[in-house]
Amino acid sequence: MSTFDRNWRELQLETLVDMSLTIGGVRPEEELVEELLQRAVGNLDAGSGFVATHYPGGHEAVVRSIRLPSSLASMRALFEPDLLEELAAGRVVRTVREGSEPPYELLAAPLRAGQEALGVVVIGDKETRGGRAPFTDSDARFLLSLASMVAPAVKTWRQMTAIERDRQRLREENLALRGVARREGFIGESQQIRDLLDLVRRVAPTGANVMLRGESGVGKERVARLLHGSSDRASGPFVPLNCAALPESLLEAELFGIEEGVATGVQRRMGKIELANGGTLFLDEVGDLTLALQAKLLRVVQEREFERLGGRERIPVDLYLVTATNQDLEAMVERGDFRRDLYYRLRVVVVSIPPLRDRRGDIPLLARHFLEKYGERFGRPGMSLDRRALAALMAYSFPGNVRELENIIQAAIALAPGDSVTEQDLRLEPAANEATRAPDQLALRDVERQHIERVLRLVDGNRQEAARILGIDRSTLYRKLQQFATNGANHSSQSKAR
């Protein structure tokens, strides 16, 4: 080997080492393409050069050229038709254009990362001190080595930018979701709420039926509104219905609507299902549906159609269905009180909402949110909680969950003599702290009874006002009070019998 050849090889080796150091970090694709072009042309004494990267499918990504066509399509035209096949096989392609205008000779090498083709590098017209000279096999190997070093760096850059795009998209989605959550009054920074919001973000766009599980007062309707606002039906209607608020005869008409002429003077009326077309139907306390209504709802879920009460026309409907319950539906299915087929179709995705006692760190945020909301509504803006009041809230067990906290703050705003809510204004009576026992020591009905009785005491027995604060219909409140009275009488007679 001559001294010139030995020096030339050493120079090429140094170039490759220097190139590996240059592209060792994550660098933008444009910089990598420019670096490859300059190194290839400069180290191989080429009079022209071209580098292009492309995406799967052949669409150009980055193109740089020196005295050569500036598009991948134009460059392909200078080679034989099998250029892409040869490059895909990992081979260097040479073309000599006898008798043509410059470029006289072209050398092309593929940019490949593993089996993935990412682009091509081309050099043309080797110029030496003695004039134009052909590219050697050593030149071809060197060009292929350069391309083989740059291609993985290009792929790494693309992967990193794709990851960053996904992160940015997730950040934007989370910000948007938190905006919707705040508008719906769903406030919290605890890990439980972060996990819940993440689940909502992933589930809502799919349109899969969602069943919400959680204790009374945790905010199931707020989560349902959150699912609606995060879905592709956000511009459509959100139609809620509490299945426990009406007797079966009225509930059927409310859900499915009434056909004109069912009875004298009865006009056609759309039900909640029809009103929710193109949007979201939220059925709270779905476990209170009778088996007959469950069968009709199953048809809506399966066939996406229904009939109005007294009608025969099958009406198609397209809606997002969200249901909620605090009952043990699994036990109801085993007893035959709830249809198994409907149960599995409603609970495609189950979202469990944590009770407030499991996310106490959110209590200050929620309390301040309700202070601001109801302070404005009641004409008392700018109210605050003093330190002892906040400590009392943090120590309270909240058997009625977020709804109870909301009611407590509403009452405190109405009753507080000054602009700062004190512990006394909260009226967290010791009797209410019966709920501080472990949750599994209290039946859910007992917790509900305690909460309703407490609200009634706060409003001096005004049932209409109590129903408004509790967020339920007055008829529902009457029915629950009757149930409590009946259960109390039964409990008393059982105690006497013992």
Q: Can you tell me the mean pLDDT for 453-481?
A: 77
Which amino acid makes up residue 92? V
Q: Can you tell me the mean pLDDT for 268-296?
A: 92
Architecture of domain 3-160: 2-Layer Sandwich (3.30)
Judge whether 78 and 69 are in contact, CB under 8 Å: yes
54-58, 90-94, 329-333 — which is least confidently predicted?
Answer: 54-58
- Per the DSSP assignment, residues forming a β-bridge with 315 are 306
Judge whether 327 and 315 are in contact, CB under 8 Å: no
> 97 burial class (0-12, 13-18, 19+ CB within 10 angstroms)?
middle
pLDDT digits (tens, 9 = 90+) for 21-62: 666 667 899 999 998 899 889 888 888 999 999 988 778 889
The band of 301, judged by pLDDT with boundaries at 50, 70 and 90, is very high
Domain limits of the chain?
Answer: 3-160, 184-352, 356-497
Instruction: Give dist(CA 246, CA 250) in Å, integer.
Output: 6
Instruction: Give dist(CA 344, CA 483) in Å, integer.
Output: 30
Instruction: Give dist(CA 445, CA 221) in Å, integer.
Output: 20
Put simply, whether the predicted model's pTM sits higher than 0.75 gets the answer no
Which amino acid makes up residue 342? L
Instruction: Give dist(CA 9, CA 17) in Å, integer.
Output: 12
Domain 356-497 sits in CATH 3.40.50.720 = no
CA 387 to chain centre: 36
Across the chain, what does the average pLDDT equal?
82
For domain 184-352, give the CATH superfamily: P-loop containing nucleotide triphosphate hydrolases (3.40.50.300)
Per DSSP, 439 falls in state G
